[in-house]
Structure 1
Amino acid sequence: MIGLVLAAGAGRRLRPYTDSLPKALVPVGPAGAEDSITVLDLTLGNFAEIGLTEVAVIVGYRKEAVYARKAALEEKYGLRLTLIDNDKAEEWNNAYSLWCGRDALKDGVILANGDTVHPVSVERTLLAARDEFKQIILAVDTVKSLGDEEMKVVVDPDMGVQRITKLMDPAEATGEYIGVTLIEGTAAEELIEALKTVWEKDPQQFYEHGYQELINVGFTIDAAPIGDVAWVEIDNHDDLARGREIACRY
């Protein structure tokens, strides 16, 4: 199993940081410390802590910044990084971006969005949930209050995830998918086809629509509750402030 990070996004709501950096490289250390750790640093540190040795990073917007830091990141975290170019990063959404990592999926991955600040307990929870019957396991927050923007899920205790979408009444949801997934290599072929179906239909779809595509044809996707854990998806400057509060704890 390897790590896989989606780091191709532009994050335009985080300007001026993202004028020259992809969102995954926006600093999440103390305000004013422009050379501090980033979401990518935190994710790579988590991967190293659980014993992974290889990580694929899907890059696109301002990818030269990731290429420039590749060697330093490898040395710092003791990982071998493979950078995968997404040629449509500034035009299409992340269903296509994850599809670009289709060869990595065949090895089995822990997937992390490049804008999610979270502790290593999330990865450990996913690993602890593995068994011979589960092929895709989503990290789900069942504690926090939900609004309209969250990627919400409905989970049946016996049948797994039934719905995953932002377009859901929060009152109907079991919780929020936080952007971290364990994907076994045995699920790769079907997930790759589902992602392709989704982005060919609408290039602006999220990769979570690929998960729903699988569910719709009878594929079981499981969920692992992460507990009462501090984490944040960084979309805007308010999220960034929250991310800085959280990052200093880890």
Structure 2
Amino acid sequence: MIGLVLAAGAGRRLRPYTDTLPKALVPVDPAGEGTTTVLDLTLGNFREVGLTEAAVVVGYRKEAVHERRAALEKKYGVKLHLVDNDKAEEWNNAYSLWCARDVIKEGVILANGDTVHPVSVEQTLLDARGKGQRIILALDTVKKLADEEMKVVTEPARGVRRITKLMDPADATGEYIGVTLIEGDAAADLADALKATYERDPQLYYEDGYQEMVNRGLTIDTAAIGDVKWVEIDNHDDLNKAREIACQY
């Protein structure tokens, strides 16, 4: 199993940082000097759970990731493979994850390039393996939900039934935090669902690809991460929260 980070997005709401950097390289250290980024934190998590390889899907300002590649490999002891997304500034991340379809055959822990979270999330997913699950989503069942969250409805013994932002928060079991364990034997089914998703609408999310899998009768499971501090960085308010959280890990 290897790590996989989606780091192709532009993150325009985080300008001026993202004038020159992809969102995954926006500084989350308290001083904002760039000593720690989301990519740093994620690679550190991968290392802590024993992963020695990781792939990073790059697109917007990809040269910044290429420039830091050797230093990141040395710092975290993780061999990095860069996967190019040629439509990063045009299409949404269903296509971005599809670009990594060959990587997923290895079995991956997928982390969004804008999610600050502790290593306990990866460990929870790894601990949940071994019962025939093929895809396991990290789920926050503690946080109070609103309209913007990626909400999930689950049913006992059936797993995920719905995953979308477009539902009443009161109906949701929890929030998908942007980290997934995907076994290699799920790669073909996932790639096909992602392809159908972005061909239907290039602006759809990879979570819509998960929903496509569910609609096809395939099972997607979840693992509750407990009461942990994490944040998805969409704007400067989120970035401030990320800096408060990152210094604790």
TM-score surpassing 0.5? yes
Q: Distance in 1 between matches of 2:21 and 2:33?
A: 12
1:173-206: CA deviation from partner (whole Å, max 9, x where unpaired): 0000000000000100000000000001100000
Aligned to 1:104: 103
Aligned to 2:168: 169
Aligned to 2:239: 240
Aligned to 2:23: 23
Aligned to 1:230: 229
Paired AA for residue 241 in structure 1: N
1:34-54: CA deviation from partner (whole Å, max 9, x where unpaired): 232000000000000000000
Runs of 4 or more off by more than 3 Å in structure 1? none
Q: Is contact 2:26-2:34 (8 Å) kept?
A: no
Structure 1 residue ranges without an equivalent (≥5): none
- Pairing of 1:79-228 with structure 2 (within 5 A): 79-228=78-227
User: 1:10 aligned to 2:14?
Assistant: no
Paired AA for residue 248 in structure 1: C
Q: Is contact 1:30-1:244 (8 Å) kept?
A: yes
Paired AA for residue 63 in structure 2: E
Q: Distance in 1 between matches of 2:140 and 2:131?
A: 24
Q: Distance in 2 between matches of 1:129 and 1:35?
A: 34
Q: Distance in 1 between matches of 2:156 and 2:9?
A: 34
Identity %: 76
Q: Distance in 2 between matches of 1:57 and 1:247?
A: 21
Q: Is contact 2:138-2:178 (8 Å) kept?
A: yes
CA RMSD of aligned residues (A): 0.6
SS at match of 2:90: coil
- Pairing of 1:65-76 with structure 2 (within 5 A): 65-76=64-75
Q: Distance in 2 between matches of 1:217 and 1:10?
A: 32
Structure 2 residue ranges without an equivalent (≥5): none
Cα deviation, residue 158, structure 1:
1.5
Aligned to 2:54: 55
Q: Distance in 1 between matches of 2:34 and 2:155?
A: 44
Q: Distance in 1 between matches of 2:151 and 2:211?
A: 12
Q: Distance in 2 between matches of 1:243 and 1:99?
A: 28
SS at match of 1:96: helix
Paired AA for residue 10 in structure 2: A
Paired AA for residue 127 in structure 1: L
Question: Which range moved further: 177-186 or 130-139?
Answer: 130-139
TM score, norm. by length of structure 1: 0.99
Question: Which range moved further: 93-102 or 129-138?
Answer: 129-138
Paired AA for residue 46 in structure 1: N
Q: Is contact 1:30-1:36 (8 Å) kept?
A: no
Cα deviation, residue 78, structure 1:
0.3
1:207-238: CA deviation from partner (whole Å, max 9, x where unpaired): 00000000001101000000000000000000
1:58-97: CA deviation from partner (whole Å, max 9, x where unpaired): 0000000000000000000001000001000000000000
Q: Is contact 2:152-2:160 (8 Å) kept?
A: yes
Q: Is contact 1:29-1:37 (8 Å) kept?
A: yes
Q: Distance in 1 between matches of 2:171 and 2:232?
A: 21
Q: Distance in 1 between matches of 2:131 and 2:69?
A: 35
